[in-house]
Structure 1
Amino acid sequence: MPVTDDRRDPVADIAYVSEVRVERLGGRLRAAYLPGEEEATVYGMHGAIAEHYGVEPGTGPSHASTIDHLVGAALG
């Protein structure tokens, strides 16, 4: 099939590139610097997620995990 001139370059359709930086804080903690936010979002483990990974309760600070953020974003 011949290529026609009306084909568009899909790269030309990029509307947004997210500038996110993630920094390891030590252990299970990470800080994500997200566009539009003045403060970093800290990620870690809590409850059932920590239990799944074999982390003893109370051995570290409790923070939302990345999966919590993704679910919240999808539902939002």
Structure 2
Amino acid sequence: MGDVVYRSEARIERVAGPLRRAFLPGEKEPVAFGVHGAIAEHYGRAPGTYDPHATTIDYVVAATAG
């Protein structure tokens, strides 16, 4: 096994409900994670009761496709 060449240092902060802030390497500002559309509906969030943001799964899909 080779030497570890990179270790990500990320921190997640829960804001309220599904809203979280991720402090990620290479980003000057925190990244907001939350819910939107069908995902918000699945979790029982009524329209207008949350500020829509990309979900963590949106980021996983984008990272995989990239």
Provide the TM-score with structure 1 as the length reference.
0.80
Sequence identity of aligned pairs in percent?
56
Query: In the aligned structure 2, how far is the partner of 1:13 from the partner of 1:50?
Result: 42
Secondary structure of 2:22's match?
strand
1:55 is the counterpart of 2:45: yes
Could you tell me which residue of structure 2 aligns to residue 21 of structure 1? 11
The CA distance in 2 between the partners of 1:60 and 1:53, in whole Å, is 12
Any gaps of 5 or more consecutive residues in structure 1?
A: 1-9
In structure 2, the partner of 1:3 is: none
Point out where structure 2 has 5 or more consecutive residues left out of the alignment. none
Shift of residue 24, structure 1, vs aligned partner: 0.8
Runs of 4+ in 1 over 3 A off after TM superposition: none
Once residues 34 and 27 of structure 2 are traced to their aligned partners in structure 1, the CA distance between those partners, rounded to angstroms, is: 18
Q: Deviations over 1:39-58 (max 9, x none)?
A: 10000000011011111111
Q: What TM-score, normalized by structure 2, do the two folds share? A: 0.91
Instruction: Compute the RMSD of aligned alpha carbons.
Output: 1.1
Separation in structure 2 between the aligned mates of residue 43 and residue 24 of structure 1, nearest angstrom: 9
SS at match of 2:29: coil
